[in-house]
Structure 1
Amino acid sequence: MNKKKGLTLLSGILMLSLLSACGNNNGNAGGNGAEPGASAAATQAAGDDKQATGDSSTIDTSQPVTLKMIFVGPKPIDYDTVFGEINKKLKEKINVTLEGEFLDWSDWAQKYPLKLAANEDFDLIYAANWASYNDQAIKGGFLELTDALLQKYAPMTWEAMPEVSWGQAKVNGKLYMVPQNRGETVEKLILYREDLRKKYNLPEINSPEAYATYLKTIAEKEKGVVPFTPETGDWKFHNLDRVLLKQQNEWNMLDFELPIGFKLTDPAGKVFNVYETPEFKELVYYYKDLADHNVWSKSAQNSKLDHQQEFREGKTASITHNLGTLGSLMTDMRGKNSPYELALADVTPDKKKSVAVSTQNGVAIHASSKNPERALMMVDLLQNDKELHDLIMSGIAGVHYNPLGDDKYTNADKNANFTGFSNWSFNSPLNRDNASFPDEANALTDKWEGEVYHYPLETFVFDNSKVKTEIANVSNVMLQYGIPLEYGTVNDVDSGLAKLQKQTKAAGIDKIIAEVQRQIDEFLAKSTQ
């Protein structure tokens, strides 16, 4: 997830300006009460005077502690080697040993909430807005991080983190994660085989229609290559939806676990049921056409394939993801002399671009962790200590990456042996940028920096506590009736869409929309005061 640092600075300045203009109060988390399950030391720290010095040298670390963290993504091949080095440093600095558990992309969506619901024994967990951070925080799975806790046990993070980032990570006025401290784009692109486009003399891929032409041509003429392979996981709206539905129509989907959106340019923030829009109907017909032309595997909906690996091996002609992920994949493939010519396609080139809020990636401390203080100290180091940050983000110098100065690197021979998992939890200004990052990806970053669009609801957080039952019911409907439409497996699209709309209403979508709208109206009213 390599990003150019300029985006961080620009987005931070613009977002701070926007929030200041709106008069939002972005003070840090208030209240001193620690959540149930916090240790006595954490409770004491939460009750300490607000003027905590943050001098961690006075903290007693004489007792060794083993911390377990849940990551998403596959366990890296060189986990033992790299984490061995990390643990040497952590042992020296705070007497901690870190053990990682990894939830593979094929089943993380099912396993992640179960680990919290079962109150399993672990200390930290990857947290993100797209991984139901708000919901899990409200359910009580994460420890509240007060000002006093952060000042005492994460003083470097406390000083380095922009205040707006803390504000974006609050749920009902309280903080439950240490968010990333580096901005990134959330727009999706398509990575495809340019050699195949040239082979069949196809037009430039710069629109949904041009992309469909590419896909259907590959399906017809390039035997043994799947035109498109989606990412695995229990996605209600997959990445191609985010290109062709969210970006194409300049919507914000609020939460990809719900079929609710609003127009970015709508100052009133009027929300709507995505499934009832003509745009969604047009999209499912688009997908039906692609499915009928065998653009993806008939088992794609339940596939466990790694779409990046399929692309790497030439088994698929295109995939979707964000710019950083796709640019890194291109860098790795080109560095290993891939026989395929690669290219990026932005099929929504004239649409508004946005940046992620701080909760795009982060770390939460389990509410029942026995060592939350040491966990915070570890997060502080992994995000802000240069030596440890390089290890967790890039692996071992000379083995996984070759450092160039303090802020750049090139891939070493075993780069792929320490990638693909959520070390982005610790994104910070110390991130190194890949000096071999594709020029075309850098050009897109430069272009988007000048086009970042900020909207009044950019920092809005939905509290779903009053509609939990309805959300669970709608989620089941989306899985049963929505996803088949999006993979083109429903023969009668009109009938399937009508059934989806009917079932979604019966599940309580209107009540959810009413509650979302109420909260948005209140949020906007406060912003203009």
Structure 2
Amino acid sequence: MKKRVSITALALSAALVLGACGNSAGTETAPAEGTNEASESTAVQENAEAGDPVLKDGEMTEILVTFPGISSAPASLAEVEAAINEEVSKTMDAVIRLNVLEWGTYTDQTNLMLSSGEKMDLFFSYSGTKDYVNKGQLIPITGMMDTYGKDMQDAMGKYIDACYVGDELYGVPTFRDLAAQAGLVCRKDILEETGMDAAQIKTLDDVEELLKKVKELHPEMSLLVSSEPKRGPLANINKGVFDIIQSGVGVYMNDNDGHIDIVNTYETDEYMVLAQKAFEWNKKGYFIPDSTTITDVRQDLIKAGNCFGYIGNSHPGTTTQETMNTGMDMVTIPLTDRILTTQGVDFSQWSLPVACEAPEKALAFLDILYSNPKVQNLFRFGIENKDYVVNENGIAGYPEGVTSSTVGWTNESWITGNAAIGYAWETDPENVWEEYQKYNDTAEISPLYGFIFDSSKVKNEIVAISNVIDKYQGIAEAGLNDPDTTVAKFNEELKAAGIQKIVDEMQAQADAWIAEK
């Protein structure tokens, strides 16, 4: 029996409890009533008031919090740090230092920090924790959660279970779109120029008709950029078809006929259709040139004014998120089924690196971020009446004269922990957090939801497979070569690298998991 963190309450008055999780994936819960007043005592505060010798030890420990942002030196950084530290000082002896790394180099920089043992006390990851754990780079937090992470348990509920590796917990997921769906995110002004209605765009054929019209209106424009580095513009279009668990190996979402079959997704008809469509669209000039080598993030490319949009994640906050990040009015058009997978839940989370000097204090700060609305709003929006204002309805927005390009601080809600205890943004519906709840609760659930693959027996194959994927995936999904040749070579080298061994090992584990379940 796995040891699990005890869940002692279903909701806080200032938090949103999430349903559809763990082995109870079919259950739903209603969002709790939120508040933006930090009137409730947090568990960390109660510990401090009780004289916790770890939090109140007389040592002003520096906690380095590392996360990605548009700029590594936002103008309001010092003020945000000072305001957060004023709040933190009420509960523990620590100084929070915010280390913002630019999106384009974030993964490389954090990997270097982790491998070198450079000081880092908390960091945000958006690739799960399993690989970090296998490299011995994270501290397990299982035994500390009941004392220093209780509010996070109450806020996130059983979704925390997705962040376990074996019997140990290594991270806390963020409140966000826990389900997944691909969509076209594009400039509203250009969409309106075409005369097409967003509600009528539902398939790739519809998108192609739209791109054709945009190209006629703006022949100089690069239409689609990649949603993430080293991937092609059509990388996300099969989201909704597969639950990809490891190195392109996974299961069809609709595989519920009595026996779940593990497949190499790169060898499926669906992947060939993706590659063929990418090749066709690239020849028509619908993709930005050199899409697999550009290091600029999608928001900066769109902000520069010569790109129409991208196909990427679609969720209730996408339009606001990308409008803020690009400085342009954006539209989100869903294109695929919405799915819930284990990997989708543990995709983004906060963890403690092995270089963390004071794990209890670091975890306690994270608990504050998930439970204290004042700290959450500081971390997400910055300084009130400078970086944002709040209207009479309790909705946040930019002050007069401030835009996404000139604001001194901004963070995306999916990074900031428990955004549901903070303000909604003016371009979101007032019930945006309830919309997230509905989005997650109504997703199609993977037949392997809750299954965690133990890759220890195929570690060498996974390394070999990753090199092949790096070689071919971007080429196929950016349509750079004839797919009949590229995809065939791709799968030939995948087989030589041992992908069938991964398929067989995952099949055996999945069969055992299903039998036990």
Of 466, 486, 493 in structure 1, the residue corresponding to residue 483 of structure 2 is: 493
Q: Distance in 2 between matches of 1:294 and 1:411?
A: 36
Deviation of 1:17 after TM superposition, in Å, equals: 7.5
CA gap 1:94/1:448 in 2 versus in 1, 3 angstroms: closer
The residue aligned with 2:298 is 307
**Over residues 72-104 of structure 1, what are the superposed CA-to-partner deviations in whole Å (9 max), with x where a residue is unaligned?**
333344322212321232234312122233332
8 Å contact 1:127–1:177 — kept in the other structure? no
The residue aligned with 1:177 is 171
List runs of 5+ in structure 1 lacking aligned partners.
22-51
The residue aligned with 1:153 is 148
Q: Output the amino acid matched with 1:305.
A: D
Deviation of 1:266 after TM superposition, in Å, equals: 1.5
8 Å contact 2:149–2:364 — kept in the other structure? yes
The residue aligned with 2:88 is 90
**Over residues 210-256 of structure 1, what are the superposed CA-to-partner deviations in whole Å (9 max), with x where a residue is unaligned?**
11222234334413321111134245xx67422x2122xx321224x
8 Å contact 1:394–1:418 — kept in the other structure? yes
CA gap 1:231/1:17 in 2 versus in 1, 3 angstroms: closer
**Over residues 122-173 of structure 1, what are the superposed CA-to-partner deviations in whole Å (9 max), with x where a residue is unaligned?**
2111134xx14111123221111123x12222343344441x2232211112
SS in 2 for 1:418: coil
Q: Distance in 2 between matches of 1:382 and 1:151?
A: 16
CA gap 1:144/1:332 in 2 versus in 1, 3 angstroms: closer
Say whether residues 1:265 and 2:261 are aligned partners.
no
Q: After TM superposition, list the pairs within 5 Å mapping 1:132-281 onto structure 2.
A: 132-147=128-143, 149-162=144-157, 164-181=158-175, 184-202=178-196, 204-235=200-231, 240-242=234-236, 244-247=237-240, 250-255=241-246, 258-267=247-256, 268-281=259-272
Q: TM-score, normalised by structure 1?
A: 0.79
The alignment-based identity, stated in percent, is 20
Identify the range of structure 1 (98-107 vs 399-408) with the bigger mean alpha-carbon deviation: 399-408
Say whether residues 1:354 and 2:340 are aligned partners.
yes
Q: Distance in 1 between matches of 2:325 and 2:230?
A: 28
The residue aligned with 2:20 is 14
Q: Output the amino acid matched with 2:493.
A: Q
Higher helix share: 1
Say whether residues 1:326 and 2:318 are aligned partners.
yes
8 Å contact 2:19–2:441 — kept in the other structure? no
SS in 2 for 1:319: strand
SS in 2 for 1:98: strand
Identify the range of structure 1 (287-296 vs 104-113) with the bigger mean alpha-carbon deviation: 104-113
The residue aligned with 2:118 is 120
8 Å contact 2:223–2:287 — kept in the other structure? yes
Say whether residues 1:403 and 2:403 are aligned partners.
no
Q: Distance in 1 between matches of 2:291 and 2:375?
A: 39
Identify the range of structure 1 (438-447 vs 386-395) with the bigger mean alpha-carbon deviation: 438-447
The residue aligned with 2:41 is none
Q: Distance in 2 between matches of 1:105 and 1:313?
A: 17
Q: TM-score, normalised by structure 2?
A: 0.81
Say whether residues 1:514 and 2:504 are aligned partners.
yes
Deviation of 1:390 after TM superposition, in Å, equals: 1.6
Identify the range of structure 1 (110-119 vs 434-443) with the bigger mean alpha-carbon deviation: 434-443
8 Å contact 2:48–2:92 — kept in the other structure? no
| Aligned length in residues | 472
Deviation of 1:422 after TM superposition, in Å, equals: 7.8
Deviation of 1:475 after TM superposition, in Å, equals: 0.8
Q: Distance in 2 between matches of 1:400 and 1:331?
A: 16
Q: Output the amino acid matched with 2:136.
A: G
Q: Distance in 1 between matches of 2:155 and 2:430?
A: 30
**Over residues 471-491 of structure 1, what are the superposed CA-to-partner deviations in whole Å (9 max), with x where a residue is unaligned?**
11111111112211211111x
Q: Output the amino acid matched with 1:59.
A: D
**Over residues 14-73 of structure 1, what are the superposed CA-to-partner deviations in whole Å (9 max), with x where a residue is unaligned?**
33673599xxxxxxxxxxxxxxxxxxxxxxxxxxxxxx9983432232111111122133
Q: Output the amino acid matched with 1:246.
A: K
CA gap 1:498/1:183 in 2 versus in 1, 3 angstroms: closer
Q: Distance in 2 between matches of 1:306 and 1:369?
A: 29
Q: Output the amino acid matched with 1:276.
A: E
List runs of 5+ in structure 2 lacking aligned partners.
1-11, 28-43
The residue aligned with 2:456 is 465
SS in 1 for 2:161: helix
Q: Output the amino acid matched with 1:141.
A: Q
